[in-house]
Structure 1
Amino acid sequence: MTELDEKIRDVFPEESIYKTSTRYNMFAGVNVPSFIKDWLIKRYSNENEEVDKEALFAFLEKHIPGKDSDIKSRLIKGESIQILVRVIVESDLKTGIFKFSIPDIGIKNNEGRISEYVMRTGNIKEGENWGIVTLDYVQPEGREKGYAELVKFKPFKPYTPDFDYYCAARSRFSTKEWIDFVIRCMEYNPDSTQFESYTQKLLFISRLLIFCEPNLNIIELAPKGTGKSYIFNNLSKYGWMISGGKVTRAKLFYDMASNKPGIIPNYEFVAMDEIKTIVFGNQEELQGALKGYLENGSFTMGQAKQTSTAGLILLGNIDLDSNRRPINKKYFQELPEVFHDTALLDRFHGMIEGWYLPRITEDLKLEGYSLNVEYFSEILSMQRGMSKYASIVTDMLEIPKEADTRDTTAIIRLATAYLKLLFPNVNSVMDVDRDEFETFCFKPAYEKRKIVRAQLSIQDMEYSPKMPDIKVRSFNG
């Protein structure tokens, strides 16, 4: 056990968990994200970190079914079913009925209804919900078809983190220890020989920026095998991953034909993975909607104007030369045509150059202590609504009057996200070490926006590659 292992276990005795690849092998064939796996391992582990495999397997078999389960037939036979699962809720204005689907076991939205009592409790919302559900089968009289009814729902939220305690705990770690700690919370090994520097580690945790900062928009281009998909698919129930298929304005924002909100209003962040494989319908319509939303976090559909805090990250592969640098110097040409519009690209705050990140190897898999993923993701979600961090960042910076507003907004938003990740315990500029802020928050934020501006200038002569002369103020805390 390393010194950092001991510190994590001592500082977070209830919230930490010992992770090994062999433990996760217990979930082979079970399609559940990391925040569910961690919760189950913690639930069935003793003080010596030994897992009661028999009890865990019994829980999986009873409460986490797969697509080949016989739940539908058991419901029809009159059995009441209780499972831990992902439920997608939709409202039908024409009938006044709330419908649900459970894709993981093949229950479609025309086969499921939610009882009025469950909707009145307020514990379940439109869109995706993770929780423990109780299902019964209803066979109405007459010609109406039978359906599964959701009669009980308990949200999966095993932790309500004490944020003050989390902040107090931060003071017991050095900044470099905390960076390693955050990498562990992402389920990776910060001591891996794959990591060559703390600059590289800082770039690696940049993938978490949209987890804690609202309306942050990022592009990441990276070679295959660098772990892009895993992080956005497994670390939080508050995000949504689009992988392939067709994306339209209705699917993303609001479907006026069915009066249903799209993906963006229902999540805290949306990742478009393997973006070259996604088909974008009516590109001009989608471009217009994205430009408005990425600019101010709102969109108009018909007579309704709605807002959302969801950030957007585009994840794409990029071909490298023998020196592991992009063959195509025009990075954004690696994106689908809908994102070739420079006015749209200008609304992305920063870019992650994924070719500087390590390829995922066995050595990068964590063997040690970290925070339970569910606890960590709840902390990041809580930080989204905390305005003090942006205020601190703004007070720390000298911004010229002639600075481009989009550049300024991007740098502040990115630096704020870094501050939340790395220095959650600060409450004012007096708590901030100027040099650490410049190294770990401002410079990486500035560089990520600089990449966007440089690429815009290559693609469109209207854009200058010159960045505003924004600096960190010359006082120290």
Structure 2
Amino acid sequence: MIDELNQKLNQAFAGRVVRKDLTKKIKEGANVPVYVLEYLLGMYCATDDEASINEGVERVKSILSENFVRPDEAEKVKSKIRELGQYTVIDKVTVRLNEKVDTYETEFSNLGLKGVSISPNYVKDFEKLLTGGIWCILKMSYYYDEEAKGVNPFTITGVTPIQMPNMDLEEVFEGRKNFSKEEWIDALLRSTGMESTKLEQTVKWHLLARLIPLVENNYNVCELGPRGTGKSHVYKEISPNSILVSGGQTTVANLFYNMASRTIGLVGLWDVVAFDEVAGITFKDKDGIQIMKDYMASGSFARGKEEKSANASMVFVGNINQSVDVLIKTSHLFDPFPDAMAGDTAFFDRMHYYIPGWEVPKMRPEFLTNEYGFIVDYLAEFFREMRKRSFSDALDKYFKLGNNLNQRDVIAVRKTVSGLVKLLYPNGEFTKDDIEEILRYALVGRRRVKEQLKKIGGMEFYDVHFSYIVNETLNEEFVSVPEQGGGKIIPEGIGKPGHVYTVGRGDSGMIGVYKIETEVVSGSGKFERSGLGNSRDAKENTLTAFNYFKANNKSISASISTKTKDYLMHVQDIQGIGMTRELTLTAFIAMCSGAMGKPPQSQLVVLGSMSIGGTINKVEELANTLQVCFDAGAKKVLLPMASAADIPTVPPELFAKFQMAFYQSPEDAVFKALGVE
């Protein structure tokens, strides 16, 4: 299988592929980006003939050892240029205009030279020299003139940027026809250095999702996960068209537009601007985040009197230091973002996709490939050309999106679908099943964003139940997010007597699901509780319920005894958000249910609480509470009559999901919960 794919790549893309173990071998000895290395390997080793490869590798090694400038050897290289009069170097070069003397001057990253003049022709041809710089092969010469004081003796006589000079997309479209979907995915991932045959299917899709910003304009994606999973590798090493902003602090001038020099920032010059370690993102300017939000939503931003547009995609990568389970229970998955962004739902709502970094394994040697893949420079140019096309309507032929998706969700899903079609089916040849697979993946990543927005912003984002409708059959298919737990908290079917669910606000301030389990055993009237931790409120609540139960049980059933039975109660904080104080009424119903040996109705949640005298309190934040009930799998809800006035605050489509029953007193609640007339 492996050999077959290598063969196919060499036949369909002769001269465009390279063996990735060569890159690894040389990379370990030379600190240059992968695309620089593979540019050279592509020149000398794009073949499957072993002898030619070995010869080519030696050639590349000697070019790197002689011409690549290591910072510690800068003086030696300068001396060579002086002694030989002319010399070729490989270095990263940045150019700026010195308007005082009207010349373009270069700065060398490793050679340490500044103020070397360069012909304006090169600057016109390669604009990126002016913005962040590019790696080049440069011919340098040296001439010192005693007469010309202050003139730099170093001059540049030739510049070859380390990038593909041209790209024929038809070659890719034709070549793609020779590969199955699985083979093409393997070829793409091997091109980025990963051995895809060692990875699970879901991981392959996440690695493909990392590439979407390179093929799709104005695509905003975020990936948070453990350290060492290669989150920033693609943006730093694989493409000369993306820039990784490390360290976090940036300015509006650098990122968007410099008013003083009237030059556009990184978003206008690179295809992808990636932020490494989101926790450290800070703007020196107060309006930085606002401008970023504006740009992420529309691809344009206002500076001074004019509106500027750009195509760069935004990528946010960072580390999650706790387990995802803990984060989901106690906070939200955008938690690592800095405080200035953390509570800003409008900022996160602009994310088109959230890649679950915790599902990607940590990089180990066996995950790095030794097989053939595209020369990354060729790959980068293919990606760049695909940015000019769009497949955002690819799903319309077969599917419609469900009504829980708002306009932002629809845009996000369409962009993800478009990006994945460009990567997998660049020639536009795909089937209904191909699109369905992509569509499901796109919906899950956007729903992950929406689930977190619901946690941060509450009811404004209640509509998270994403679906799509098949045009042919009109069947509606829903997607779930793995970490939210596909299994419902409240199971179907009749439960046990004494087991009752409620939803209330926990100590953490979040609303969650609680289960009260009551066992009634022979004894002398004792009441024992567990699961309440150190919560004094919860202990008082349950004791109030027991006292009310002792005083009023005969109005429920003559068969209940509090003198010959012991009542053992356990309260479970199912979502780990801290104990709630809204337990009194539910605890009373649980004791009655256990004492009578009668289970509550199936999939029922009891809402509301009561005071020591049996006065019923209404539910706070009814809409949010009902949303939690729905997510937990509740079908029936028992609600205090006092909450009827708040029903208009609940979206009608959410309210319609439940069978509602209203109660006026604790006793009324017991009968309705147990289905006793």
TM-score by length of 2: 0.63
SS at match of 2:413: helix
**1:191–1:279 Cα change, 3 Å:** same
Alignment map for 1:14-413 (pairs within 5 Å)? 14-20=15-21, 24-45=24-45, 47-49=48-50, 50-52=53-55, 53-68=57-72, 69-70=74-75, 71-75=77-81, 79-92=85-98, 96-108=102-114, 111-119=115-123, 126-127=130-131, 128-137=133-142, 144=150, 146=152, 148-158=154-164, 160-192=166-198, 195-196=199-200, 198-244=201-247, 246-282=249-285, 284-321=286-323, 329-340=331-342, 341-387=344-390, 389-399=391-401, 403-413=405-415
In 2, Cα distance between equivalents of 1:167 and 1:345? 36
> Counterpart of 2:137 in 1: which secondary structure?
strand
Mapped to 1, the partners of 2:326 and 2:425 lie a distance apart of 33
Matched letter for residue 39 of structure 1: Y
In structure 2, give the amino acid aligned to 1:42: G
Summarize deviations over 1:217-261 as a string: whole Å, max 9, x none.
011001011011222111100000011152111121122234443
RMSD: 2.8
CA 1:396–1:73 in 2, change beyond 3 Å: closer, same or farther? farther
1:10 correspondence with 2:11: yes
Alpha-carbon distance between aligned partners in 1 of 2:380 and 2:122, rounded to the nearest angstrom:
26
What's the offset of the Cα at 1:151?
Answer: 3.6
Q: Quick one: higher RCO (CA 8 Å, sep 6+), 1 or 2?
A: 1
Aligned-pair identity in percent equals: 25
CA deviation profile, 1:420-455 (whole Å, cap 9, x unmatched): 1111121xxxx431122111x211111111111111
Shift of 1:48: 1.9
* 8 Å contact from structure 2 (residues 404, 464) kept in 1: no
Compared CA separation, residues 48 and 170, structure 1 to 2 (3 A) = same
Query: Deviations 1:163-184 (Å, cap 9, x if unpaired)?
Result: 2221222222222222222211
Distance change (3 Å), C-alpha of 1:324 and 1:160:
farther
Distance 1:118 1:379, change over 3 A: closer
Greater Cα shift, 448-457 or 391-400: 391-400
Structure 2 residue identity aligned to 1:422: L
Task: Describe how 1:415-434 pairs up with structure 2 within 5 A.
Answer: 415-426=417-428, 431-434=429-432
Pair 1:258–1:438, CA change in 2 (3 A): same
Unaligned runs of 5+ in 2: 474-677
The alpha-carbon distance between structure 1 residues 58 and 277, as it changes in their structure 2 partners (threshold 3 A), is same
The structure having more radius of gyration, on CA atoms, is 2
Q: Is the 8 A contact 1:34 1:373 kept in 2?
A: yes
Seen in structure 2, the aligned counterparts of structure 1 residues 54 and 96 have a Cα distance that, compared at 3 Å, is same
SS at match of 1:132: strand
Instruction: Determine the C-alpha separation between the residues in 2 that align with 1:248 and 1:382.
Output: 30
Distance 2:358 2:387 in 1: 28
Q: How far 1:125 sits from its partner (Å)? A: 5.1
Task: Give the match for residue 474 of structure 1.
Answer: 471
Structure 1 residue 364, shift from structure 2 partner: 0.2
Contact kept? 2:23, 2:34, Cα under 8 Å: no
What is the CA-CA distance between 1:93 and the residue it aligns to? 5.1
Could you say if the C-alpha distance between residues 174 and 300 of structure 1 is closer, same or farther in structure 2, counting changes exceeding 3 Å? same
Unpaired runs of 5+ in structure 1?
Answer: none
Q: Which secondary structure state, in structure 2, belongs to the residue aligned with residue 412 of structure 1?
A: helix
Q: Would the alpha carbon gap of residues 241 and 119 (structure 1) be closer, same or farther in structure 2, given more than 3 Å must change?
A: closer
Letter in 1 for 2:276: D
Kindly report structure 1 stretches of 4+ aligned residues shifted beyond 6 Å.
322-327
Separation in structure 2 between the aligned mates of residue 23 and residue 55 of structure 1, nearest angstrom? 13
**Map of 2:450 onto structure 1:** 453
Moved more, 368-377 or 27-36: 27-36
Matched, 1:438 2:444: no
- TM-score normalised per structure 1: 0.88
Question: How far, CA to CA, are the matches of 1:360 and 1:311 in structure 2?
Answer: 25
Distance 1:444 1:288 in 2: 30
